[in-house]
């Protein structure tokens, strides 16, 4: 009996609350979504999604969304995006900007993405397994499936972790001082020190915490995630954000099946926590108020940040907040807001191909001229000059 892929696509999308599309070769033959999307996010990751050769698999992006993929001959089911942890508003706006959603469509796009069902990846894969049984006559279990992590790929130093084999029981530990060094770097948000340390770190000999090599690496990963999340909290990162990130990394580590993938993800995790704390740092040592302000600004970078609204969110008067913030950090509140926007603009100019005008609008500057004026004030060069200097 011929399979009605359009019917499967429509019913599965309505049941899961997640967009699903069906391709035959390169041709889209069916697309159903419980919400209207100004742009299909899956198109941004088409090359990675098409590279999955297994009957069932999934792809994880760097902003923690994942897509399920089912293949049957020249038919591809593409399910997603979804994620386990609900995205914050600023994350949604970053996602829209990454995908090139027009400014006028951004609010509606964010609302649509927010309405997509948050689904654990295990549930997503089980749904695809049931469709796979109909499409390929194959009974797959979760243990048969592997993760695709191109979206999180990075080159990790070969000497970052060297784990003792079970028979090496007499090998002395040398982890404590290295753990302390890494946690101190995360707590300070010192990415420069992290890169330097990673480049010259000695091999680390950990104790034996599992009967096999893969389980050993995963257990060490869990310990590292826990330590990193606590260090990030001490560095000022929001508690819920830090713990949710830790949970997410651990859950994805559990699905990895090679030393290379685990080491790769661990490297990305440490860098990710360090970079998040770095963005919160003020004069190297943020106090409680400074951290609260920095967290608010980071979560509203693509909005026109009002000092009145910021003060209201912290249950303070605007004048009192401005005075106290300046006294604690030595930086005027308005200057700090614009400095943070400038830092984000620098990152986008270096690592994306979006125009300076688009970046300025994304960061809620009133005009390209306003963006250029502010950027030059804090960097000494125009956005075009900065991009040219970094060869983008």
Per-residue pLDDT tens digits for 245-263: 888 888 888 888 777 788 8
Q: Of 129, 151, 173, which residue constitutes the final position of a domain? A: 151
Q: Helix 259-278 vs helix 191-200: angle between axes, to the nearest 10 degrees?
A: 150
Domain termination site, one of 278, 305, 321: 278
Query: Once rounded to an integer, what is the mean pLDDT over residues 118-134?
Result: 88
Q: What is the DSSP string of 194-211?
A: HHHHHHHPPP--PPP-SS
Among the candidates 278, 299, 323, a domain finishes at 278
**144 domain residue, yes or no:** yes
Tell me the average pLDDT across 339-356.
89
CB atoms within 10 A of CB 251: 14
pLDDT at 371 over 80: yes
20 in Cβ contact with 32 (< 8 Å) = yes
Residues 168, 263, single domain; the answer is yes
Whether residues 21 and 144 share a domain: the answer is yes
Q: Please tell me the predicted confidence (pLDDT) of residue 163.
A: 36
pTM here is 0.65
Residue 66 phi, psi dihedral angles, 5° rounding = -135, 155
What letter does residue 43 receive in the DSSP assignment?
Answer: G
| CB 160, CB 201: distance < 8 Å | yes
Q: Could you report the per-residue pLDDT of 150-187, keeping only the tens digit for each?
A: 444 333 333 333 333 444 444 444 455 567 778 888 88
Those residues with Cβ within 8 angstroms of residue 91's Cβ, 6 or more apart along the chain or in another chain: 63
Residue 114 counted as domain residue: yes
Residue 348 placed within a domain = yes
Q: Is 219 exposed, middle or buried (CB count within 10 Å of its CB: 0-12, 13-18, 19+)?
A: middle
Residues 169 and 268 in one domain: yes
Six-digit token pair at 235? Answer: 């560095």
Q: Which residues contact 263 (CB under 8 A, 6 or more apart)?
A: 156, 160, 161, 217
First to last CA, the chain: 53
- Tokens 């033959």 locate to 29
pLDDT in tens, 54-91: 899 888 887 778 899 999 999 999 999 998 778 888 88
What is the rounded average pLDDT for all residues in the chain? 82
Give per-residue pLDDT as tens, 265-297.
888 888 888 888 887 766 555 677 887 888 888
**Are 142 and 163 in the same domain?**
no
Sheet of strand 75-82, all strands in order from the earlier edge strand to the far edge: 27-32, 20-24, 75-82, 66-72, 56-60, 147-148
Task: Say which residue the tokens 């929001």 belong to.
Answer: 238
For residue 368, is it within any domain?
A: yes
Under the phi-then-psi rule, with left for phi > 0, alpha for psi from -120 to 50, and beta for the rest, what region is 169?
Answer: alpha
| Cis-peptide, bond into residue 192, ω within 30° of zero | no
Residues 12 and 145 in one domain: yes
Residue 260 to residue 171: CA distance in whole angstroms: 23
Helix (H, G, I), strand (E, B) or coil at 22: strand
The pLDDT confidence band at residue 351, using thresholds 50, 70 and 90, is confident
In the chain, the percentage of residues whose pLDDT exceeds 70 is: 85
Same domain membership, residue 321 and residue 210:
no
pLDDT at residue number 383: 94
| Calpha distance 97→109 (Å, rounded) | 10
User: Are 268 and 159 part of one and the same domain?
Assistant: yes
CB atoms within 10 A of CB 372: 19
- Condensed to tens digits (0 to 9), the pLDDT of residues 89-105 reads 888 998 899 888 988 89
Classify residue 283: in a domain, yes or no: no
In the predicted model, is pLDDT for residue 29 greater than 90?
A: yes
Query: Same domain for 109 and 159?
Result: no
Contact 159, 202 (CB under 8 A): yes
Q: What's residue 68's pLDDT?
A: 92
- Which pLDDT score is estimated for 214? 77
Residue 255 belongs to domain spanning: 154-278
Query: Is the pLDDT assigned to residue 227 strictly greater than 50?
Result: yes
> Could you tell me the CATH number of the domain that includes residue 355?
1.10.10.60
Do residues 143 and 243 share a domain?
Answer: no
Q: Structurally, how many domains does the chain consist of? A: 3
Contact (CB, 8 A) for 75 and 5: yes
In a domain, 366, yes or no: yes
Q: Are 67 and 79 in contact (CB under 8 A)?
A: yes
208 in a structural domain: yes
The arithmetic mean of pLDDT across residues 313-330, rounded, is 91
User: Do the beta carbons of residue 68 and residue 128 sit within 8 Å?
Assistant: yes
What span, in angstroms and rounded, lies between the C-alpha atoms of 350 and 354? Answer: 10
| Cα–Cα distance, 91 to 106 (Å, whole number) | 12
Whether residues 207 and 137 share a domain: the answer is no
pLDDT at position 174: 44
| Same-domain status, 231 and 95 | no
pLDDT attached to residue 198: 67
For residues 379 and 296, state if they share a domain: yes
For the residues 129-141, what does the mean pLDDT come to? 89
Reduce the DSSP state of residue 53 to 3 states and report it: coil
d(CA 49, CA 52): 6
CATH of residue 82's domain is 3.30.450
């Amino acid at each position: 009996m011929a399979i009605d892929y359009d019917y499967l696509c429509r019913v599965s999308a309505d049941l899961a609350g997640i967009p699903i599309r069906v391709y035959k070769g390169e041709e889209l033959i069916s697309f159903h979504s419980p919400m209207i999307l100004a742009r299909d996010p899956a198109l941004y990751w088409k090359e990675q999604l098409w590279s999955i050769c297994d009957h069932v698999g999934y792809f994880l992006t760097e902003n923690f969304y994942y897509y399920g993929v089912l293949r049957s001959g020249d038919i591809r089911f593409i399910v997603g995006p979804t994620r386990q942890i609900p995205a914050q508003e600023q994350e949604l706006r970053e996602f829209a900007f990454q995908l090139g959603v027009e400014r006028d469509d951004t609010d509606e796009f964010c609302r649509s993405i927010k309405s997509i069902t948050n689904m654990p990846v295990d549930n997503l894969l089980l749904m695809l397994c049931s469709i796979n049984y109909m499409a390929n006559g194959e009974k797959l279990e979760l243990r048969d499936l592997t993760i695709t992590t191109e979206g999180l790929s990075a080159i990790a130093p070969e000497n970052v972790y060297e784990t003792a084999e079970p028979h090496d029981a007499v090998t002395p530990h040398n982890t404590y001082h290295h753990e302390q060094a890494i946690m101190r770097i995360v707590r300070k948000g010192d990415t420069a020190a992290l890169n330097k340390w990673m480049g010259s770190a000695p091999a680390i000999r950990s104790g034996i915490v599992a009967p096999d090599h893969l389980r050993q690496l995963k257990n060490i990963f869990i310990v590292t995630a826990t330590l990193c999340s606590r260090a990030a909290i001490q560095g000022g990162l929001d508690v819920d954000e830090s713990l949710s990130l830790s949970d997410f990394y651990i859950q994805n580590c559990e699905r990895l099946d090679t030393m290379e993938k685990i080491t790769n993800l661990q490297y990305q995790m440490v860098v990710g926590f360090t970079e998040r704390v770095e963005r919160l740092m003020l004069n190297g040592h943020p106090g409680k108020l400074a951290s609260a302000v920095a967290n608010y600004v980071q979560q509203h970078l693509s909005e026109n940040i009002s000092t009145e609204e910021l003060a209201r969110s912290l249950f303070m008067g605007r004048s009192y907040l401005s005075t106290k913030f300046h006294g604690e950090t030595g930086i005027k509140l308005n200057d700090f807001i614009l400095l943070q926007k400038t830092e984000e603009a620098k990152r986008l100019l270096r690592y994306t191909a979006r125009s300076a005008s688009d970046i300025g609008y994304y960061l809620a500057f009133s005009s390209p001229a306003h963006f250029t004026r502010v950027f030059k004030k804090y960097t000494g060069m125009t956005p075009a000059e900065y991009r040219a200097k970094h060869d983008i």
